[in-house]
Amino acid sequence: MVNAHEIERILRQFEEETEGVKGSCVVYSPQALVLAEASQEFPRDIVQAMSERILSLADQTLASLLKGQYKLKRVLIEEENHNIVLLPINAEYHLVIITTQEETKGLLMLNAKQLLNRIKPLLE
């Protein structure tokens, strides 16, 4: 059984310890529902629907272009002052991280990968 409270605790800790993170959540992909979130700074319905749609479009694009085996690792949206990172966790869940530009992309990706590694076992 998925322990949403433990995932929320991990997300809160990640947000507190990682410079520039404005929000993070885990979304249940089949129904585009937020399973766990640390902060509630961003509208849940927008994060749910748009993150699922963006990952779906990225997946469709890879399938059309590569016509073979591929594995989507992440989608990064960069804006002048913010980043949005979408990371598939497994076939059913994905991680959304919204940040300012304070942290370098390399460090952001390293921290995101470490967070993913902490959450993934809780969703298996």
Give 70-89 pLDDT, tens digit per residue: 889 999 999 999 999 999 99
The Cα 42–Cα 58 span in angstroms is: 22
The Cα 90–Cα 32 span in angstroms is: 14
The Cα 29–Cα 93 span in angstroms is: 5
Class of domain 4-119: alpha beta
Instruction: Give the pLDDT of residue 32.
Output: 65
Instruction: Give the pLDDT of residue 74.
Output: 93
Average pLDDT on 97-111 reads 87
What global pTM score does this model have?
A: 0.89
**Residues 7-53 pLDDT 10s:** 999 999 998 888 889 888 998 887 767 777 777 778 888 888 889 89
Domain range summary for the chain, segments of one domain joined by +:
4-119
Strand order from edge to edge, sheet including 93-100: 33-37, 21-28, 93-100, 82-88, 75-78
The Cα 25–Cα 22 span in angstroms is: 11
